Amino acid sequence: MSEFEDWIGRSVSVTDVLECARSNALDVALGGEGAGKAGDPLPLLHHWLYFWDVKPPQGLGADGHPAKGGFLPPVPLPRRMWAGGRVSFVKPLLLGQTVTKTSTITAIKEKTGSTGKLVFVTVRHDLDVGEGIAVSEEQDLVYREPASAMLPAPVAAPAPDVAWREEVNPDSVLLFRYSALTMNGHRIHYDRKYAMEEEAYPGLVVHGPLQATLLVALAARSLDVPVTGFDFRGQQPAFDGVPLHVCGQATESGAEVWTQQGEAKNMVATVRTSVLAGSAA
């Protein structure tokens, strides 16, 4: 898009310490023991808990996100979400490390979908521990037109009959905790009235990054080789109040994993490994 060409190539760097408390808090919120200590590997995708971009009240948009026009372009479409991404795990991040994240806008594209005009903004993030890049990822952000009708609420269904499956209850407490741990102010995740009346969702929206974190954790527990890459894409939103099935199965190159509510897949992902993968079972 010509009006936003000046944003392509923009870059910003921020440094943070991967302190244990934040990662352990998410582990406990998901039912774990929260026993990580300095020097332990940071669980995959827990780096999303760090590098907060905290804005004052006047620096926020009506949706609770940072106002447009700073690092990200001022796309005029009102609804924005994280559509998917691609992550390469080059070497482990460790709890207690000091890490610098450099973010660069690499592409801005306009498309037309079934719901109208869409604008995709791709941002690359490189995480450097002082000895080269440890994690490199691309995130696809999507801006959308106002909703014309409320989406139907999902209907609970039995867990799919697949090799790996877990069930998570994405209630309002879990969504609030994840929003707090990631400093994500987007109101669709904790403000039910806003989510339903302003963005026409049938309930609170389960964070895409939270679903991705659940999926990569399932794969890491189930495979007998390290995960080196994770490509994920949101297909349709998941909502609170209905069990979320976290599913997967091994492939020759890693695994295919997905979340599911009812009969619909919400997020789908491909897990890559450095060698042929097998099941730890």
Q: What is the DSSP letter of 147?
A: P
Express as a percent the part of the chain with pLDDT over 70: 96
Residue 279 falls inside a structural domain: no
pLDDT digits (tens, 9 = 90+) for 11-67: 999 999 999 999 999 999 999 999 999 999 999 999 999 999 999 999 888 889 888
Residue 178 falls inside a structural domain: yes
Q: How many domains are contained in the chain?
A: 1
- Distance of alpha carbon 190 from its chain centroid, rounded? 16
pLDDT digits (tens, 9 = 90+) for 162-212: 999 999 999 999 999 999 999 999 999 999 999 999 999 999 999 999 999
Domain that holds residue 168: 2-273
Q: Confirm if 170 and 177 have CB atoms less than 8 A apart.
A: no
Strands (E), the chain: 11-17, 79-89, 98-113, 116-128, 133-144, 164-168, 227-234, 244-251, 254-261, 264-273
Residue among 238, 233, 172, 167 nearest 205 (CA): 238
Residue among 134, 271, 269, 119 nearest 209 (CA): 269
Residue 281 falls inside a structural domain: no
Residue 51 falls inside a structural domain: yes
Q: What is the DSSP letter of 114?
A: T
Residue 237 falls inside a structural domain: yes
C-alpha–C-alpha distance, residues 39 and 37, integer Å:
6
Residue 129 falls inside a structural domain: yes
Residue 81 falls inside a structural domain: yes
Residue 278 falls inside a structural domain: no
CATH number of the domain to which 216 belongs: 3.10.129.10
Residue among 126, 60, 52, 55 nearest 93 (CA): 126
